């Protein structure tokens, strides 16, 4: 005879599955961010190198500063999405560590908590909105240092190329 499983057991299994989905999704966002950074560096370096190698384009090296800024914006958009999943992980952590879990076991159903809200779509609070806010994520040091550094390097190279010693083919 098959063992009877109640709704509470099912909810707990779904909560466990949700944690696994959250972790996999967060890792996937990290991989996307890593790829964006790699592409930003590659395209930026190729653009600067191409501009420096082509005398008539050298005066446009400054324009390469926009490449990392565009990638920074796309990377920020990805991180905002990721932070929704991280927020949900934090909500689950809070649930597992407060009285709601104990009450849930006593009542044999999840108390004051819903499962399978992986992107924290039901969350509307200010704390969550602050956690995922675009301006906040945009200014993360892990984001901004790389992209600002590349943009600044473009500007430094532009200034350096103004000196005739740096212009290819000049004496």
Give the model confidence (pLDDT) of 134-143 as tens digits. 999 999 998 8
Mean pLDDT of 140-152: 94
Q: How many domains does the chain have?
A: 1
| Cβ contact 64:47 at 8 Å | yes
Inform me whether the pLDDT recorded for 1 exceeds 90: no
* Mean of the per-residue pLDDT values of the chain: 90
Residue written as tokens 């350096």? Answer: 160
Residue 170 lies in a domain: no
pTM: 0.83
Angstrom distance (rounded) from CA 158 to CA 68:
15
Tokens for 65? 């500063």
Q: Within a domain: residue 167? A: no
pLDDT of 164 higher than 60 = no
Q: Is the pLDDT of residue 168 over 80?
A: no
Q: What is the pLDDT of residues 35-49, one digit of tens each?
A: 999 999 999 999 999
Supply the Cα-derived Rg of the chain in whole angstroms. Answer: 25
> Does 5 score more than 80 pLDDT?
no
Say yes or no to pLDDT of 29 above 90: yes
Q: Indicate whether 91 belongs to any domain.
A: yes
Q: Give pLDDT tens digits for 68-123.
A: 999 999 999 999 999 999 999 999 999 999 999 999 999 999 999 988 888 888 87
Domain-located, residue 171: no
Host domain of residue 76 = 7-161
| Nearest 10 degrees: Cα torsion 44, 45, 51, 52 | 150
């Amino acid at each position: 005879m098959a063992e009877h499983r109640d709704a509470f057991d099912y909810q707990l299994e779904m909560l466990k599955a949700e944690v696994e989905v959250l972790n996999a999704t967060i890792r996937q966002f990290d991989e996307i961010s890593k790829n964006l950074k790699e592409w930003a560096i590659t395209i930026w370096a190729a653009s600067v190198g191409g501009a420096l190698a082509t005398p008539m384009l050298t005066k446009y090296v400054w324009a390469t500063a926009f490449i990392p800024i565009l990638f920074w914006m796309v990377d920020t958009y990805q991180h905002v999405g990721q932070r929704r999943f991280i927020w949900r992980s934090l909500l689950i952590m809070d649930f597992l560590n407060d009285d709601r879990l104990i009450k849930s076991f006593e009542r044999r159903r999840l108390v004051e908590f819903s499962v399978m809200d992986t992107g924290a779509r039901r969350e509307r609070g200010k704390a969550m909105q602050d956690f995922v806010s675009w301006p906040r994520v945009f200014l993360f040091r892990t984001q901004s240092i790389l992209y600002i550094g590349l943009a600044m390097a473009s500007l430094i190279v532009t200034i350096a190329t103004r000196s005739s010693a740096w212009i290819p083919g000049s004496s």
